[in-house]
Structure 1
Amino acid sequence: MSALFADPSAAAIPLHLIASDALPEWLDGQSDATRTWVAAQGFTGALGQALTLPGEDGALRMALAGYGTASARKRGRFHLAGAAAKLPKGDYELHADVPAAERAVEALGWLLASYRFDRYATQSPMAARLVAPAGIDADHIRALAEGEMLTRDLINTPASDMGPPDLEAAARKLADQHGARISVITGDDLLAQNLPLIHTVGRAADRAPRLIDLTWGKTGKKLTLVGKGVCFDTGGLNLKPGASMGLMKKDMGGAAAVLGLAHMIMATGMDLQLRVLIPAVENAVSGNAFRPQDILTSRKGLTVEINNTDAEGRLVLADALALADEDKPDQIISMATLTGAARVAVGPDLAPYFSDDPDFVAALESAAATHADPVWRMPFHTPYEPLIEPGIADLDNAPSGGFAGCITAALFLRRFVTDSPYAHFDIYGWQPSAAPARAKGGVGQATRALHASLGTILSK
């Protein structure tokens, strides 16, 4: 996590953020030489453009970053990051006539643009560094960037180095960093502690399944985050085809997201009691793998008919959610790379979520709009409940027909939370192609919006 702001210094290069329609007015206040240089280089203020201007001695005296038009900005986010990646080495001080909230988002985007996944190969660092802009909380922005980078690192790491024990080690490292408490239930102890679904899904793998339980904070409202930690998903006996298995190192993206969010919460010192539950497993194939048409009994006592072993994420989440609900926290939030249906519905860029609480929805969507972290509400549509009731068991883990797959998965999870406010996020956790501030690969979704809205959500 090397994304830090540059130290303020007199040597910082002024960087002017200029919208297309503001360029003529800005040029009116510049010298003839500057106007000539800008015109000769073809700088128009288009989104993502970057231009450096030399002084008489040839050294950089200022730089320009294009801010485009209002309509162009609506088509993306982290607009400054695109220009920042094109600037030469140096420390830059932002000059921008935009609101402080907008400066904060653009500063965060700059830090996120500097992310490199360099565990296995050397990566060239981004040359330009930013001095924290005036009027923003630099420590707060840094904490958000660090949380996002933690999420990205965890998702990007292949299952060979990010199995259940490695995910546990990452959680322990985070706990040590913030003085949190952590306990882990592993292997057959899951059965002794009445976590049978987590054990069943993970028992076929060489690396034992486990439940990671991290707690932090002693005052304030109680928040429990539950993250799906399927470190690799073969599909089990309903084996995935090769093309569908290619990205399954990211099937622990929910766990990565809640750990990133936990860092944001702890690093910014939020006044709440945090609990993070991560069922960490591999869905593998061996002689003791669970089978289609098995009927399993969950921690809550609900029975589940297995009609597809590739619908394993909701099983491990079910036990963790039941455990979370027993504590009756003020809010439970689950995050999981759960269904392909969610991707078909909204694509990779939006984080679909489920909540019946209008106050939760209003707070989250307001924060999402101002923190460049888009979400999309999906319905807990109760009339679809019969689709998850197979008749010979309480629940069906994979209803036939394929309709409303992300909704039926969310309804399945909701059955395990009866005493606490509950919201569920069916995230993708992956950036398919590079975009400003978002390298191709693992990515956090909805965590910044949640962090910004938790104070309101928990204030009820």
Structure 2
Amino acid sequence: MPEFAPDDAVTRPIYMVDEAGLAAFLAGLPPMQAAWLLAVGFKAGLGAVVLLPDAGGAVVAAVVGNGTGSARARRQFGMAGVALAVPAGDWHFVGGLEGAALEEAALGWFLAQYRFDRYKPVARDVARLALPVGVDGARVIAMAQAEVLTRDLINTPASDMGPAEMEAAFCALATRHGATASVIVGDDLLAQNFPMIHAVGRASTRAPRLLDMQWGDAGPLLVLVGKGVCFDTGGLDIKPSSGMVLMKKDMGGAATVLGLAHMIMALGLRLRLRVLVPAVENAISGAAMRPKDILTSRKGLTVEVNNTDAEGRLVLADALAYACEGKPDLVISMATLTGAARVAVGPDLAPFFTDDDGFAVALTNGGAQSADPVWRLPLWPGYEAMIEPGIADLDNAPAGGFAGASTAALFLRRFVDTPNYVHFDIYGHQPTAAPARPQGGAGQGARAILYALPAMLGATL
């Protein structure tokens, strides 16, 4: 978990310098340190770090480059590497950053120090940062903790993160924040009318379940629904081995809504929160659902299964219908749902769908403020016919390959009985290491939502 320097710590400075301000900065340094920076070729390029010695050679400060505006636009958390470049001890930022840029620098410090060491512990001393004046420290820490939780859940292999382990993590979070949690398991899903969650998970030896958390007793009701497919073989329409390599991350939607739920509860937002996670494993056995099976959903809509590998929308559909029975003010679903979304916007952006233009503006602004970029994709009504197979109400996998992310979102919308709905089709994975984002599991969209919630719920939170 993130560590920060206590208030009474003696801290060393980290000077944040952009290219335009380098000459003035050098002029204000002691001559020896200015000469040192010139000698090592420091030009304040984004992310460049140099340690500054005193006359005796001891490290007394550090300088990190903040580059140019165009460089910063191309690389978020560009200065985060300083957290790994300075020696252990306590540090503080010095420089002209303020507002969202300063918060990004502080958050990037903590995110850069993340390591998934469950299976290969590494003893290391980390540098600690004094939270900068003018930054909401509680929010920065909550966001960092949330990202650690999300990354840890996604990075854990399916052997240790099946439906039961997802339940344990879910209930632990509820206990931590004084929320209530309940679970429906196995054949009880059929008895309590969650037929599609049951159909997807029944082939596994690890029983499917629906996880339900509730927190708060006043304010608008927000329901978060996260796809918790703990491993996805593709079912009988089996994936090739290359397609299964990352399928431990197919519960990335669940992991991300748990991170978001942590932020909401840790910050004590004035709302009522409900979190629903259908936790399943899409496996293969004699009990597996088959291509061309027709399932009857909780809402009563029938669904033709034209691809057993399009299972995420099935489990989300039952959970979304259930969510709407409680008359929520806002429903948000998050899922690693389609490869089409990755093709459309790549791994860095979290695409979302909504019919509400105000929500779209709020989320876009929230993403910019929180270094969590999002991008709106269309719920184009002209594609509705693509998800209507004729033999049933809905098709879970339209043929043709066009607009796969949009048709998946349109499918989910059929199960939502409120216009106040947003769906995120996230990747949940960082394919190559980047500043503050090591390769592996990654949350997407949660911070953008956190910043957007007041505007989306029309409330002071």
Normalised by the length of structure 2, the TM-score is 0.98
Superposed displacement of residue 9, structure 1: 4.1
- Counting only pairs closer than 5 Å after superposition, residues 178-217 of structure 1 correspond to structure 2 as 178-217=177-216
Aligned to 1:141: 140
Aligned to 2:175: 176
One-letter identity of the residue aligned with 2:226: G
Q: Which of 115-124 and 280-289 deviates more?
A: 115-124
Identity among equivalent positions (%) equals 60
Measure, in 2, the Cα distance between the counterparts of 1:125 and 1:152: 19
One-letter identity of the residue aligned with 2:109: W
One-letter identity of the residue aligned with 1:277: L
Superposed displacement of residue 189, structure 1: 0.3
Measure, in 1, the Cα distance between the counterparts of 2:260 and 2:266: 10
Aligned to 1:152: 151
Superposed displacement of residue 100, structure 1: 2.8
Measure, in 2, the Cα distance between the counterparts of 1:320 and 1:330: 16
Aligned to 1:386: 385
Task: Say if 2:82 and 2:109, in contact at 8 Å, map to a contact too.
Answer: no
Task: Say if 1:328 and 1:420, in contact at 8 Å, map to a contact too.
Answer: no
Aligned to 2:6: 7
Aligned to 2:128: 129
Aligned to 2:102: 103
Measure, in 2, the Cα distance between the counterparts of 1:142 and 1:32: 38
One-letter identity of the residue aligned with 1:53: L
Superposed displacement of residue 79, structure 1: 1.9
Q: Matched residue of 1:218: which SS?
A: coil
Measure, in 2, the Cα distance between the counterparts of 1:49 and 1:124: 26
Superposed displacement of residue 144, structure 1: 0.7
Superposed displacement of residue 38, structure 1: 0.9
Task: Say if 1:43 and 1:51, in contact at 8 Å, map to a contact too.
Answer: yes
- Counting only pairs closer than 5 Å after superposition, residues 40-439 of structure 1 correspond to structure 2 as 40-123=39-122, 125=124, 127-439=126-438
Deviation string 1:309-356 (CA, Å, 9 cap, x unpaired) is 000000000000000011110000000000000001111110000011
Measure, in 1, the Cα distance between the counterparts of 2:72 and 2:318: 43
Superposed displacement of residue 152, structure 1: 0.3
Unpaired runs of 5+ in structure 1? none
One-letter identity of the residue aligned with 1:316: V
One-letter identity of the residue aligned with 1:424: H
Q: Matched residue of 1:85: which SS?
A: helix
Superposed displacement of residue 135, structure 1: 1.2
Q: 1:126 to 1:108 in 2, by over 3 A?
A: farther
Task: Say if 1:116 and 1:125, in contact at 8 Å, map to a contact too.
Answer: no
Task: Say if 2:162 and 2:280, in contact at 8 Å, map to a contact too.
Answer: yes
Measure, in 2, the Cα distance between the counterparts of 1:394 and 1:195: 17
Q: Matched residue of 2:79: which SS?
A: helix
One-letter identity of the residue aligned with 1:314: R
Q: Matched residue of 1:280: which SS?
A: strand
One-letter identity of the residue aligned with 1:174: L
Superposed displacement of residue 99, structure 1: 1.5
Measure, in 2, the Cα distance between the counterparts of 1:429 and 1:123: 25
Measure, in 2, the Cα distance between the counterparts of 1:32 and 1:250: 52
Superposed displacement of residue 126, structure 1: 6.3
Q: Matched residue of 1:439: which SS?
A: coil
Task: Say if 2:83 and 2:113, in contact at 8 Å, map to a contact too.
Answer: no
Superposed displacement of residue 125, structure 1: 3.9
Task: Say if 1:330 and 1:420, in contact at 8 Å, map to a contact too.
Answer: no
Measure, in 2, the Cα distance between the counterparts of 1:320 and 1:434: 34
Deviation string 1:16-49 (CA, Å, 9 cap, x unpaired) is 0000121101111122212211111111111111
Q: Matched residue of 2:332: which SS?
A: strand
Superposed displacement of residue 389, structure 1: 0.3
Q: Which of 413-422 and 432-441 deviates more?
A: 413-422
Task: Say if 2:98 and 2:134, in contact at 8 Å, map to a contact too.
Answer: no
Superposed displacement of residue 104, structure 1: 1.1
Aligned to 1:22: 21
Measure, in 1, the Cα distance between the counterparts of 2:242 and 2:114: 28
Task: Say if 1:204 and 1:288, in contact at 8 Å, map to a contact too.
Answer: yes
Normalised by the length of structure 1, the TM-score is 0.98
Task: Say if 1:117 and 1:123, in contact at 8 Å, map to a contact too.
Answer: no
Superposed displacement of residue 140, structure 1: 1.5
